Chains A and B, each alone.
Chain A
Amino acid sequence: MKDNFIIGEFILLIFGFFLFSILLPDEEISLSERRKLAQFPNFSVDGMMKGDYFSDLDQYFSDQFPYRDTFRRIKAYTQFSLFQKLDNEGIFIQDDSVFSLSSTWNQKEIDHFTDKLTEIKERYLTNQQNIYYSVIPDKNAYLENTLYPKFNYSRLITELNHQLDADFQYIDLFSKLSLEDYYRTDIHWRQDKIVDIASYLVEEMNHHYVSSEKEKRNFSPFYGSLYGQVALPISPDTITYLTNDTLESIQVWNFEDQKMESVYQPNSSDIDSYDLFLSGPTPLLEIENSNQTEGELIIFRDSFASSLTPLIIESYHHITLIDLRYISTDLLENLVDFTNQDILFLYSIPVINQSNILK
């Protein structure tokens, strides 16, 4: 009798899911994992003999497995509740907020980061230009639970100060931020919480910050990048973005798309709603504010600057945003005219500590 049950549950499981996977329609994307799912691969004899076809087939079977999100949730519960692990694949929940474990110190990458900044300075910048840099801590830095390892922020600043020459002026953001300034389900900071950071940065660069009335608009639900990774039930975020008539009227030249775009694009992406800020990940943006006659700024940046920049546009006549993750330093020679603009290097710790992605 017992054997019947053991055989039955095994057969039911493997044949049941075999049939489910054949009968259920394939999904295009996984919203929770924020990625496209593998589709049934095209057959070719060459691909089969090289083994690529079968690898693609494995990926397809895995991606299209029925009730994938439920299984991911079972795994997360097992890790946290049964194994009592403090994180699941480096992701954990504390105080209703999702965190990713801080990356471990990588001296080689940090050296590469300072080399990259120095290379840009030596190749493109003039003596008349003011150079600033600032580091955005990951939100783990503000976590109260001391058990979780944190990235050594002060050591990083000491290292950067040591390696970069005196022309690079450091602007400290660490003391200006708190955990509430970040989304609960995403790594990024919240635009509605960093207005003070924006004014502070501009003023630290010895420029006048233009403050203006802005209307709050909400975009929800926002499933941040950590939301799907944690695979546990947690309420999504709301993106609150700040706008006014000036920001609505400003056009942004997107080098990649070769067209003018608006500052905010609430329906820009099915996968990452954070892309509503300045078109999401893109190599080069030029923003011109005709209401302001002076002040030019070039920001070498990662995605954190996408939500910050709209807050400082009104203070400048022209802002150029360069994301070296998507464009080579060599190409800047033909695309950006370095004259007398202020330069700001604004990078978050994960990018600095994995700076080989900067081209």
Chain B
Amino acid sequence: MVFSSITFLFYFLPIVLFCYYVLFRKYKNTVLLLASLFFYFYGEPKYIFVLLFSCFINYFCGRLIEKIPKYRTLILVIDLVISFGLLLYFKYFGFLVENLNTIFSLEMVIPHIVMPIGISFFTFQATSYTIDIYRGEVKSAKNFWSFTTYLSLFPQLVAGPIVRYETVQNELEQRTESKETFASGVRRFTIGLAKKVLLANVLGELVAILADISVSSILSYWIQAIAITLQLYFDFSGYSDMAIGLGLMFGFHFLENFNYPLIAKSITDFWRRWHISLSTWFKDYVYIPLGGNRKGIIRQCFNILIVWCLTGLWHGASWNFVIWGLYFGVLLIIEKTLLKKVLKLHPYLARIYTFILIVISFVIFHFDDYHELILFLKGMFGFLSIPLVSQETIYYLRSYGVVLLVSLFAISPLGKRFVHSLMCKPRFKHVIDVLEVGYYFVLLFVSVSFLVDEAYNPFLYFRF
């Protein structure tokens, strides 16, 4: 089930909200647990057992690490082997066999394993839990069902953000729902839904159309590349907004996952703003344990490449994701060693430089076919015999011009800052209050109208 669906919005959510707020406090977590398991079961009936198995193993290992300190390292290793073993089997086994066949000229049958939705997210979340217990940073969950509620909590189950146990540990046991947090949740959810339905899906249509036009042009390649970037951003950040908003409606406060990444001043800055929960995970559980920047520049560069190779692989079992990760690894090394000062001196140029490099990176991300990727990059940089513009390009630029402009505006905090500045002035405050109520209503209503007549509604990050 996806948040941006009629089923979720008008059947699942009202029933869960009703049960949650009607029942007594002691039943609230049970409501969330049952709702979350049903939410996952609805999308992946068979793989509910994989999720429950992951919950059981990690809960059990977490308890043992605490109870038997003598063997805590061994228990952690067993836990990581099982958890990542599941991930390896479901996500990477086919890819592994395929590459072994190529390298050693073997003829092993490539297994076509359907990946359980969200396995990358809940595996990372679960392992962060056991590692944190191992490090003594959190206490283990005392109750299996409470832990299962944490790991399977439907707002963040299938596409993040990757919520660390310490973030919600207290709220799982004791939280306060209030009118203010619920209203904040509605605002955040509505913004996320609109980002997903009104921007990401419409940009996705443009990407699909431009991939299929009769006469490609250099401009059409660039528009498509920018649309791919914007679509990914609004798709994923919209999902995170909805997850955070839903969390607030049930009294949970998840950490932010995006902070206007497309206006970053460097690639280093970009990765502090994009999918923050994932970069934090890799920093805390891979980069720093490898030595981080404490063992000299060469070792640091090596660590960066390892982390970014893994980050790429996390996104998918395909070489383009590895290249995508290493592309960022190399750029980060260049920035750390050469460009750091230059980028600081020219902030506007730095933003343009960063945006162009991000656009190229998402082109690599978009194509898992090597030949298509090369062809696309050639098209972008004028190495194909194609015109600069074509009539079709002009048509689609004109037709999607407003959506592109709105999207480019929405990647910056300018709108938000403008509204806040108006609200600080007493004479505008009441007008803004009234407009805000109308704004969310219209946004919700229009988003629903797009859902009812949807032609294109994939969630890109579900495949991870």
A residues near B (Cβ < 8 Å) are 2-7, 9-11, 13-15, 17-18, 21, 48-51, 54, 57-58, 61-62, 65, 68, 71-72, 74-75, 78, 82-87, 89, 104-105, 147-149, 152, 231
**Cβ distance A77 to chain B, nearest Cβ, rounded Å:** 9
Within 8 A of A (CB), among B166-201: 179-180, 182-183, 186-187, 190, 198
Minimal Cβ-Cβ distance residue in B for A14: B14
Which 5 pairs between the two chains have the least Cβ-Cβ distance? A3-B183, A74-B449, A86-B399, A105-B214, A71-B452
On whether A6 and B186 interact (CB within 8 A), knowing A58-B5, A84-B401, A86-B395, the answer reads yes
On whether A9 and B441 interact (CB within 8 A), knowing A62-B452, A71-B448, the answer reads yes
Contact residue among A6, A14, A82, A87 (Cβ-Cβ distance under 8 Å from B399): A87
In the complex, are the beta carbons of B7 and A65 less than 8 A apart?
A: no
| Complex interface: chain A residues within 8 A of B179 (CB) | 3-4, 7
In the complex, are the beta carbons of A75 and B187 less than 8 A apart?
A: no
Minimal Cβ-Cβ distance residue in A for B398: A86
On whether A72 and B402 interact (CB within 8 A), knowing A14-B10, A17-B10, the answer reads no
Contact residue among A7, A83, A87 (Cβ-Cβ distance under 8 Å from B183): A7
Secondary structure at the A interface, as helix, strand, loop or mixed, is helix
Contact of B356 with A by CB under 8 A: no
| Complex interface: chain B residues within 8 A of A152 (CB) | 214
Minimal Cβ-Cβ distance residue in B for A6: B183
In the complex, are the beta carbons of B180 and A149 less than 8 A apart?
A: no
Minimal Cβ-Cβ distance residue in B for A17: B10
| Complex interface: chain A residues within 8 A of B370 (CB) | none
| Complex interface: chain B residues within 8 A of A72 (CB) | 449, 452-453
A2-B437, A7-B186, A104-B214 given; name 14 further pairs at CB < 8 Å.
A6-B186, A6-B187, A6-B437, A57-B7, A65-B6, A65-B10, A68-B453, A74-B446, A75-B452, A75-B453, A78-B450, A86-B399, A89-B453, A231-B453
**Cβ distance B430 to chain A, nearest Cβ, rounded Å:** 10
Contact residue among B1, B186, B446 (Cβ-Cβ distance under 8 Å from A78): B446
Contact of B445 with A by CB under 8 A: yes
Contact of B353 with A by CB under 8 A: no
CA distance A204 to B266 in the complex (A): 69
Stretch at the interface among B28-36, B40-48, B75-83: B40-48
CA distance A1 to B13 in the complex (A): 24
CA distance A18 to B14 in the complex (A): 7
CA distance A9 to B180 in the complex (A): 15
Contact residue among B213, B450, B451 (Cβ-Cβ distance under 8 Å from A104): B213
In the complex, are the beta carbons of B445 and A74 less than 8 A apart?
A: yes
CA distance A152 to B406 in the complex (A): 33
| Complex interface: chain B residues within 8 A of A51 (CB) | 43-45
Within 8 A of A (CB), among B213-272: 213-214
Secondary structure at the B interface, as helix, strand, loop or mixed, is helix
Contact residue among A2, A5, A49, A148 (Cβ-Cβ distance under 8 Å from B45): A49
| Complex interface: chain B residues within 8 A of A75 (CB) | 446, 449-450, 452-453
30 A-B pairs with C-beta separation under 8 A:
A3-B179, A4-B179, A6-B437, A9-B444, A10-B186, A10-B444, A11-B17, A14-B10, A14-B14, A14-B17, A15-B18, A18-B15, A51-B43, A54-B45, A61-B7, A62-B451, A72-B449, A72-B453, A75-B449, A78-B198, A78-B450, A82-B402, A83-B402, A84-B402, A85-B399, A85-B400, A86-B398, A87-B399, A149-B214, A149-B391
Task: Give the number of residues in B that approach A within 8 Å (Cβ atoms).
Answer: 56
In the complex, are the beta carbons of A50 and B45 less than 8 A apart?
A: yes
In the complex, are the beta carbons of B437 and A5 less than 8 A apart?
A: yes
| Complex interface: chain B residues within 8 A of A58 (CB) | 5-7
CA distance A17 to B449 in the complex (A): 13
In the complex, are the beta carbons of B10 and A149 less than 8 A apart?
A: no
Contact of B414 with A by CB under 8 A: no
CA distance A48 to B43 in the complex (A): 10
CA distance A11 to B179 in the complex (A): 13
In the complex, are the beta carbons of B180 and A13 less than 8 A apart?
A: no
Contact residue among A10, A13, A61, A68 (Cβ-Cβ distance under 8 Å from B11): A61
In the complex, are the beta carbons of A18 and B11 less than 8 A apart?
A: yes
| Complex interface: chain B residues within 8 A of A71 (CB) | 448-449, 452-453
Q: Which of A9, A51, A148 has the most CB of B within 10 A?
A: A9
CA distance A6 to B248 in the complex (A): 14
In the complex, are the beta carbons of B452 and A6 less than 8 A apart?
A: no
Contact residue among A15, A82, A89, A149 (Cβ-Cβ distance under 8 Å from B392): A149
CA distance A21 to B10 in the complex (A): 9
CA distance A76 to B182 in the complex (A): 31
| Complex interface: chain A residues within 8 A of B187 (CB) | 6
Minimal Cβ-Cβ distance residue in A for B403: A83
CA distance A76 to B256 in the complex (A): 34
Minimal Cβ-Cβ distance residue in B for A45: B45
| Complex interface: chain A residues within 8 A of B212 (CB) | 104
In the complex, are the beta carbons of B45 and A147 less than 8 A apart?
A: no
Q: Which of A6, A11, A48, A71 has the most CB of B within 10 A?
A: A6
Minimal Cβ-Cβ distance residue in B for A10: B186
CA distance A181 to B45 in the complex (A): 53
CA distance A54 to B46 in the complex (A): 13
Contact of B455 with A by CB under 8 A: yes
Minimal Cβ-Cβ distance residue in B for A33: B453
| Complex interface: chain B residues within 8 A of A5 (CB) | 437
CA distance A152 to B392 in the complex (A): 12
**Cβ distance B191 to chain A, nearest Cβ, rounded Å:** 12
| Complex interface: chain A residues within 8 A of B436 (CB) | 2, 6
In the complex, are the beta carbons of A78 and B449 less than 8 A apart?
A: yes
| Complex interface: chain B residues within 8 A of A10 (CB) | 186, 190, 440, 444
Contact of B137 with A by CB under 8 A: no
In the complex, are the beta carbons of A48 and B449 less than 8 A apart?
A: no
| Complex interface: chain B residues within 8 A of A17 (CB) | 10
In the complex, are the beta carbons of A147 and B395 less than 8 A apart?
A: yes
| Complex interface: chain B residues within 8 A of A89 (CB) | 453, 455
| Complex interface: chain A residues within 8 A of B11 (CB) | 18, 21, 61
Minimal Cβ-Cβ distance residue in B for A15: B14
CA distance A67 to B6 in the complex (A): 13
Contact of B364 with A by CB under 8 A: no
In the complex, are the beta carbons of A14 and B449 less than 8 A apart?
A: no
CA distance A148 to B391 in the complex (A): 8
In the complex, are the beta carbons of B10 and A18 less than 8 A apart?
A: yes
Contact of B9 with A by CB under 8 A: yes
CA distance A277 to B402 in the complex (A): 43
CA distance A151 to B1 in the complex (A): 39
Q: Which of A2, A4, A68 has the most CB of B within 10 A?
A: A2
Contact of B358 with A by CB under 8 A: no
